[in-house]
Amino acid sequence: MKRIRELLVRTATLFSRRKHGKRLLAEIEDHIAFQTEDNIRAGMPPSEARREALLQFGAVEAMKEAYRDQESILFMENLLRDLKYGVRQLRRSPGFTIVAVLTLALGIGANTALFTVVDAVLLKPLPVREPGQLLLMVWDSANHTMPMAGGYSGSAGSDYSTTGNLEGTSFPHLAFERMRDTQGTFSHVFAFAPSPQLDVIVEGKAHVATGQCVTGDYFQGLGVRAWRGRLLTAADEASGAAPAAVITWEYWQRRLGGEASVIGKNITINNARFTIVGVTPPGFAGALELNQTADITLPLATLPLAFPENPVTGNAGLWWLHIMARLQPGVTREQAQARMDPIFKQSALDAWRASAHKEDAVITAKDYPTLFVNPGAQGDEFARRQYRRPLLLLMGVVGLVLLIACTNTAGLLLARSSARQQEFAMRVALGARRTRLARQLLTECLLLAGIAGIAGSLLAVWGTELLLRWTEWIRGTATLQTGVDTRVLGFAVATTMLTGLLFGIFPALRAARIKLAPNMKLQLGNTGRQRISGGRLLIVAQVAISLVVLMGAGLFLRTLRNLYTVDPGFDRHSIMLFRIKPQAAGYNATTIGPLYDRMLERLSAIPGVESASLSRQPLLSSTHLARSIYVTSGDPNNGEIAEVNIVSPSFFGTMRMPILLGRRLLGSDTSASARAVVVNETFVRKFFPGMNPIGKQFWMGGGGEGTGNPLRKHLDKPPVEQPLQIVGIARDAKYTDLRSRIGPTAYLPYAQFPTLEANFEVRYQDDETAVATAERDTVRQIDPKLPLFDLRTQMEQSNQSMSEERMFANLSSCIGGLALLLASIGLFGMLSYTVRRRTPEIGIRMALGAQRSAVLGMVLRESFVLVAIGVALGIPLALASARAASSVLVDLLFGVQPADAQNLGIATAILLAIALLAGFIPARRAARVDPTIALRYE
Amino acid sequence: VTDKTDVQQGTLALMVLKTLDVLGPLHGYGIARRIEQISGDLLAVNQGTLYPVLLKLEQEGAVTSDWGTSENNRRARFYRLTHTGRKRLQFEAGEWRTTTEIIARFFAAKPEDLK
């Protein structure tokens, strides 16, 4: 108790120091006065009396010191003093401070920014009630037989594990029904699926929005409350319920002005009338994949209303619904999985039986998929998993930069503390304890780290913005919730503190080992060499790590350059693209042809336009059509996949895609004439090798449309439609993206294969903006109900398809530049310090006749040796890391091997050049040493 | 002055407490004087050391202090023993007595007692 009380009182006094100082002075004054009076009374003369009184009192200063010690807490006192001293020290050498703070801030900032993005992409749970209780259903199958038989919509892919199985998160409706109706395991089971883009008309104005459809328990199951109005319930699924729609807060703000009157408003979605009944809270974007947002949420039951031509609900064999659930209390995830798996297997079998192609294959035990009940706190994060490894890779690289930053600062501090040996020795001689000295140094380091931490956090905020712009390939249109939250802040602080301790510990340990005598003497440069051997080690380490980072940057830069130089097989320049959706404006398969004819005619008549064409899919947009090809009718075993695009006859001319043989498509290839097709060279090589393909026929079976790789071989029955006749061969050209190999491709005329969606290509001569305006006007004149969207140039489209690669190239070259900068700062700092220490030695050498060039060479050689050792260690390190990361790199790189020798050579050359540059300034300073001044230097 | 015994910190605190117990509230100079008087001028209180001790006692709650007026109308800071201080004095005085008794016995011991 006594202790605590004393501490409290002392703590209080700490802040009322001045008052107490005064009180003490007053008491001493009183004391002396009393004593003086007494002395006078005892018969001394007044002047003598006071002198005697002072003598009797004793040493006032020592007493004050003792008083102050008693008054305060020594630790706090010292800490404050250390801090003050530290600030003074840092201010005395602003160069060092700026470099050290900048170095660390860059390291910390890059780490925090990346962590923020990784956090948002990989770690952050949905903003719903108890997200930890949510579960996501995932199927796992040795082959695609059952999931793909009746069609599949959603993410599926290799499970990345050793099994090589397929995994996916889309299920047939039947699986959902069976799980929902099973009692005793889940408290909620709900399903949802993204919808195609919605054409929305609000108060006569049209725009497009993203959408999803959900089952009745969706919002209750997630635990989301309405921000305004009400959310969808099971009642909205009942037949006869008025079509209701729920919108997100972001969409409400962006498109509908955030007005409260939105509740109850009637809107038209794909020509059907819906009523907006509620708004979800800000930040809630649904449980879809990160790059899929749903502005508008519709009940599953209204799907035929919004998509009459696409009755997915009627297709029992289609796997398309994402299923999530909440556990009932007392049930574990493992129990749920064990209970649900047989139910799911049965539903999969029943769905397969209901699918159209069941007679083509026999189902065996190995075809049954297995159900996994996975944690679902992040919603459907299936596709997101593929970003886990690239992001972790980047995280690792940025971690390396932080490591460089730390070693750099450690080197700086080491050099500095060497320079301060005399000061320390002096302080020890004056009675400072070694622990105090060490603590002083640690305080300085933490102070430095603290300042750097603040600067780094600011940098992180800016870096996060930059990263988010670069990571659009992950997010698509989604808005990530990336405010600096407590976890990210915690991470930043932890990094800072760790860094501070890390680089504070070396010099502090050394300071505690100071020998007095040699340091008090002013020495002639003989101690310099051995004293900073630690610093040399750090430089070598930095160079080695920088080499690894530089090599990585080189790989990504070359990937990007390779992509830029890829020949797409057509001319990307001076082409404007836009899309229309005539279906939303009421066109059908018979009226669409004349519309396209008229549009192409009017568009190519615009002044400044060379030609205009259309295609079902724009090129390099990651989307494609794929169909199975049968060279002989009726053979179910040849149905290999080819890529298909539906185009206008002018397509080849507009895209400058040369016809190598035969003819292009013509206006005379109409629905009345024989079906004509132009194929590419690869198509010929694959299906008609060594033959003259002109006039050859083939049949087309079923297929799919979408992004990513074509589904493997389909279980299609061979078609009974009429065959297609090859009329021409076009040069090979890239279709989905620049990276993929060119596949066999067939170009079909739109007159024979009506398409309700079209992308227009307009080749213009010079003025892009004028043409864009004219295009809009033209389309409006033809039909004011036709909205024009995705207006962009083909070059923009092409660049967009490289956004992932560009992000990696941008980021890694930033990181590489950072590493290089840090390493050269480190080298520069170390050499400058050496030169300063060795100034007297250099002076003697020069006085004894050494040439300036020899001195220059001496310092340069020193830096070169360090860098050479670093490179020698860095090359095997780089190769080892390339090997370790090769599984990730293979997916990211294009046209360059992870262990590319040329790339490594360039990185080494850059490093050596920068090292020489960093060494040159100190070397020149050394060469300019004036012997007479140098000898008087210390 | 030089051959007077220096006084140890803990002992000085005990003397201060006893002085205040016997004489009631006193200012610093008064305490110093009384200690010298009582110890029969055998002890030189390094007067400066008194004030840190007083502060420590005050922080420990054994004494309280306040400004007041001295007998010759001079302003001075008066120290007063608290209840805690009185209890502490009793306790430490007991300790001290025990210690001195033991020490005294040792010094009084004759060779035959130690056999």
Render pLDDT for A608-649 as a digit per residue (tens, 0 to 9). Answer: 899 999 998 899 887 777 777 888 765 555 667 788 899 999
* Cβ count within 10 A of residue A442: 19
Tell me what pLDDT residue A480 has. Answer: 54
Query: Measured between beta carbons, which residues in chain B are less than 8 angstroms from residue A23?
Result: 77
CA A212 to chain CA mean position, Å? 26
Contact between A627 and A770 (Cβ < 8 Å): no
Residues in chain B: 115
CA A157 to CA A143: how far, in whole Å?
11
- Judge: A67–B49 Cβ closer than 8 Å, yes or no: no
Is the model more confident about A625 or about A715? A625
- Cα angle A133-A137-A139, degrees, rounded to a multiple of 5: 150
Task: At A453, list the tokens.
Answer: 């931490």
Category of A31 on φ-ψ map: left (φ > 0), alpha (ψ -120 to 50) or beta: alpha
Query: Side chain identity at A490, as an amino acid letter?
Result: G
The minimum CA-CA distance between B105 and chain A, rounded to whole Å, is: 33
CA A322 to CA A526: how far, in whole Å?
73
The minimum CA-CA distance between B60 and chain A, rounded to whole Å, is: 6
Name the residue facing B59 among A10, A30, A57 (closest C-beta): A10
Closest-approach residue (CA) in chain A for B51: A67
pLDDT one-digit tens code per residue, A27-46 = 888 888 888 888 888 888 88
Tell me what pLDDT residue B5 has. Answer: 53
- Judge: A2–B75 Cβ closer than 8 Å, yes or no: no
Strand runs (DSSP E) across A521-651, as ranges? 575-580, 609-615, 623-630, 640-647
Of the ranges A211-215, A584-588, A737-741, A781-785, which one carries the lowest mean pLDDT score? A584-588
Query: Measured between beta carbons, which residues in chain A are less than 8 angstroms from residue B46?
Result: 58
CA A218 to CA A299: how far, in whole Å?
9
CA A931 to CA A847: how far, in whole Å?
6
Q: Is the pLDDT of residue A782 over 70?
A: yes
Category of A241 on φ-ψ map: left (φ > 0), alpha (ψ -120 to 50) or beta: beta
What percentage of chain A carries pLDDT values higher than 90?
Answer: 17
ipTM: 0.80
* Cβ count within 10 A of residue A16: 11
- Judge: B28–A66 Cβ closer than 8 Å, yes or no: no
Helices then strands, counting H and E runs in chain A, come out as 31, 24
Tell me what pLDDT residue A835 has. Answer: 79
Name the residue facing A30 among B29, B46, B56 (closest C-beta): B29
pLDDT one-digit tens code per residue, A73-113 = 556 667 777 788 888 878 887 777 887 888 878 877 877 78
Over residues A692-700, the mean pLDDT reads 87
Tell me what pLDDT residue A502 has. Answer: 66
pLDDT one-digit tens code per residue, A543-564 = 888 888 888 888 888 888 888 8
Query: Measured between beta carbons, which residues in chain A are less than 8 angstroms from residue B74?
Result: 30, 33-34
Tell me what pLDDT residue A584 has. Answer: 66
pLDDT one-digit tens code per residue, A479-529 = 555 555 566 667 766 766 676 666 666 656 665 565 555 544 444 444 444
Task: List, as one string, the DSSP characters of A358-379.
Answer: GGG----GGG--EEEEEE-TTS
Task: List, as one string, the DSSP characters of A123-180.
Answer: IPPPSSS-GGGEEEEEEEESSSHHHHHT-B-S-EEE-SSTT--EEE--EEHHHHHHHH
- Judge: B75–A30 Cβ closer than 8 Å, yes or no: yes
- In the block, which residue shows the tokens 């940057």? A553
Q: Is B112 exposed, middle or buried (0-12, 13-18, 19+ CB in 10 A)?
A: exposed
Q: Is the pLDDT of residue A478 over 70?
A: no
What percentage of chain B carries pLDDT values higher than 90?
Answer: 10
Tell me what pLDDT residue A651 has. Answer: 94
Whole-angstrom Cα Rg for chain A: 38
Name the residue facing A67 among B52, B60, B72 (closest C-beta): B52
Contact between A871 and A539 (Cβ < 8 Å): no
Query: Side chain identity at A555, as an amino acid letter?
Result: L
Contact between A800 and A472 (Cβ < 8 Å): no
pLDDT one-digit tens code per residue, A113-137 = 877 777 777 777 788 888 888 999 9
Q: Name the 3-class secondary structure at A758.
A: strand
pLDDT one-digit tens code per residue, A319-361 = 888 999 998 888 899 999 999 999 999 998 888 777 655 445 5
- Phi, psi (rounded to 5 degrees) for B5: -75, 140
CA B11 to CA B38: how far, in whole Å?
14
A360 vs A41, A150, A320, A350, A604, CA distance in Å? 128, 12, 22, 16, 48
Q: Which helix (H) or strand (E) holds A201?
A: strand A186-202
The minimum CA-CA distance between B18 and chain A, rounded to whole Å, is: 20
pLDDT one-digit tens code per residue, A730-768 = 999 998 888 888 889 999 999 888 888 889 999 998 888
Task: At A919, list the tokens.
Answer: 């060494």
Query: Measured between beta carbons, which residues in chain B are less than 8 angstroms from residue A9?
Result: 59
- Residue to mutate among B59, B63, B77, with most A CBs inside 10 A, is B59
Task: At B92, list the tokens.
Answer: 């430490």
